[in-house]
Amino acid sequence: MEQNTKKRPYLLLSNDDGYDARGLQTLIECLRPACDLLVVAPDGPRSGFSASISSRMPIASRLVSKEPGLTIYATSGTPVDCVKLGLNRYVERTPDLVVSGINHGDNASVNAHYSGTMGAAGEGALQGLPAVAFSLCDTRPDADFEPLKPYLLPFVLRAIEMGMPPFTCWNINFPKAPSFKGVRIGRMAKSRWVEEIEDCDHPRYKNAYYWLAGYCEEMEPEADDTDRWALYHDYIALTPTALDNTDYALLRSLQSDFTKKPLL
Amino acid sequence: MEQNTKKRPYLLLSNDDGYDARGLQTLIECLRPACDLLVVAPDGPRSGFSASISSRMPIASRLVSKEPGLTIYATSGTPVDCVKLGLNRYVERTPDLVVSGINHGDNASVNAHYSGTMGAAGEGALQGLPAVAFSLCDTRPDADFEPLKPYLLPFVLRAIEMGMPPFTCWNINFPKAPSFKGVRIGRMAKSRWVEEIEDCDHPRYKNAYYWLAGYCEEMEPEADDTDRWALYHDYIALTPTALDNTDYALLRSLQSDFTKKPLL
């Protein structure tokens, strides 16, 4: 029995929607039968927090609940803070995988840059662990997570079985659909947010405030090798993501340019 | 005279230390003689804000000053918010370059992920503009920016002259040194933050709070092709940075793996 317990995968879970969000609860529900779970998640919404850290404020943290195979902490910090706190203070052993999500909203294409869900997964990768981010392309609090359920544990077990090269993670997005055609491995689609600023009336000062809004315009909707194409066609999109964001092609061309013509 | 004015480069400046930080003031001082400047910067420190956006709160913004060739706005938002607000509301024409910094602190190696300075430059790249981030490896408010001054305008003019491939930007770090040996184009060094959590006493509740602290441990100090090596050896480090963070090698290997063995 004890040996069997030790063989269960040990996962560190976080998200950017808060420890009580339905996406995270869905993950817990589906993974708990087969894995031991440590959840360290924000105490409220942190959408759009990217890989931000609390550099100038301390982080409050409280134990929400602890039972066999499931411990939950809620913190005042960012998603990345949560992963750092989990790994430095709360883990019982080295996790087999860091799992972030399920995000209520789309983290494909350039959205991955702003995503706190991806921030948490990326932090796992930066700390030397395999890491997976799950997102559903539906921002509603009552989004339907049922169709995702059969896929969550298989993805987690596959990620642990295969492992990941250092400084990489998986960004997995599910389309808003009643069922999925399968899994497509694709690249990050090129897109651009436009018309992003809306004026916002203050009760006393007109237009002194702005809301971020707008929409994401696809720049290559026809390309069939992207995460966006996969989602549009009801596939689950897996985008292999590098934490080494050096542009190696540009590196070689700049080396040549700066050798030919020094800056000063 | 008017024609001459039109030929001056037009730059959008931001940072993550606040509109009144000495690093940004140094940029303004050195670039203003040759360029028209629009500054949209946070109204206070935003270190470690990465590519975060204000998704749930409006952004306040005020005009700090406006004179020929130099307009300054301060906002309650993140560095990325500032770039979005600048491009959507305040620019007079399309900027020739987005410039972020000069950060008071090191944004080389994995630090780039957490950096609000890099967040602002990355947003420029995501919006289709060439973009440069400048950082000095000295976090002190009274850091010495004098040695950097001869390099700032040449870097800016070179970036405009060369342009950049879509979805890329330049991450430029200056070592803390009285003078520099030159410019080295390098890749992001692999490193890892360790011992990151310090307990923090609350006046009433012991150890209910934590500070992020720790230090960045180099994983490949001997490799001479990295930004970190360049900085250790008193070179200016230019890291060409990709906003498409797809890992293409992993993509090919996962496509093969998932074809051989489907998930379900």
Are B45 and A53 a contacting pair at CB < 8 A? no
What pLDDT is attached to residue B1?
42
| A215 within some domain | no
Q: CA-CA distance, B166 to B170, in Å (whole number)?
A: 12
Q: CA-CA distance, B19 to B39, in Å (whole number)?
A: 8
Q: The tokens of A121 are what?
A: 């997964």
| B129 within some domain | yes
The residue among B239, B165, B236 whose CA lies nearest residue A245 is: B239
- Average pLDDT on A44-55 reads 97
| A121 within some domain | yes
Range of lowest pLDDT (A121-135, A170-184, B57-71, B199-213): B199-213
| A241 within some domain | yes
- In chain A, the residue whose alpha carbon lies closest to the alpha carbon of B116 is A52
Question: Which domain, by its residues, includes A148?
Answer: 2-189+220-260
Tokens 């994401």 belong to residue? A216
Domain CATH code at residue B78: 3.40.1210.10
What pLDDT is attached to residue B4?
47
| B79 within some domain | yes
Tokens 């009552």 belong to residue? A142
Distance from CA of A76 to the nearest CA of B (A): 9
* Count of CB atoms situated within 10 Å of the CB of B259: 9
Are A127 and B192 a contacting pair at CB < 8 A? yes
Of A48, A58, A190, the CB nearest to B167: A190
3-state secondary structure A12-26: EEECCCCCCCHHHHH
What pLDDT is attached to residue A208?
77
What pLDDT is attached to residue A6?
58
Pairing of strands A209-212, A197-200: antiparallel
Average pLDDT, rounded, for chain A: 95
Q: CA-CA distance, B136 to B115, in Å (whole number)?
A: 13
Of A89, A122, A263, the CB nearest to B113: A122
Distance from CA of B90 to the nearest CA of A (A): 11
pLDDT per residue as tens digits for the range A218-256: 999 999 999 999 999 999 999 999 999 999 999 999 999
Distance from CA of A73 to the nearest CA of B (A): 12
**Does the pLDDT at position A2 exceed 50?**
no
Pairing of strands A59-67, A70-75: antiparallel
What pLDDT is attached to residue B256?
97
Are B187 and A81 a contacting pair at CB < 8 A? no
* Count of CB atoms situated within 10 Å of the CB of B249: 12
What pLDDT is attached to residue B197?
94
Residues of B in contact with A201 (CB under 8 A): none
What pLDDT is attached to residue B208?
77
- Average pLDDT on A179-194 reads 97
Of B61, B112, B209, the CB nearest to A58: B209
What pLDDT is attached to residue B215?
95
Residues of B in contact with A56 (CB under 8 A): 45, 47-48
The answer to whether A230 and A106 are in contact (CB under 8 A) is no
Residue A109 region, left (φ>0) first, then alpha (ψ -120 to 50), else beta? left
**Amino acid identity at B150:** P
Residues of A in contact with B156 (CB under 8 A): none
Are A52 and B48 a contacting pair at CB < 8 A? yes
Local structure of B51: helix, strand or coil: coil
For testing contact with chain B, the best of A40, A43, A52, A179 (most B CBs within 10 A): A52
Q: CA-CA distance, B176 to B234, in Å (whole number)?
A: 8
| pTM across the whole model | 0.96
The number of folded domains in chain A is 1
Of B59, B188, B263, the CB nearest to A246: B188
Q: What number is the ipTM of this complex?
A: 0.95
* Each residue's pLDDT expressed in tens, for chain B with a length of 264 residues: 444 445 899 999 999 999 999 999 999 999 999 999 999 999 999 999 999 999 999 999 999 999 999 999 999 999 999 999 999 999 999 999 999 999 999 999 999 999 999 999 999 999 999 999 999 999 988 899 999 999 999 999 999 999 999 999 999 999 999 999 999 999 999 999 999 999 988 888 777 799 999 999 999 999 999 999 999 999 999 999 999 999 999 999 999 999 999 999
**pLDDT confidence bin for A89, thresholds 50/70/90:** very high
What pLDDT is attached to residue B3?
47
Distance from CA of A254 to the nearest CA of B (A): 7
What pLDDT is attached to residue A221?
94
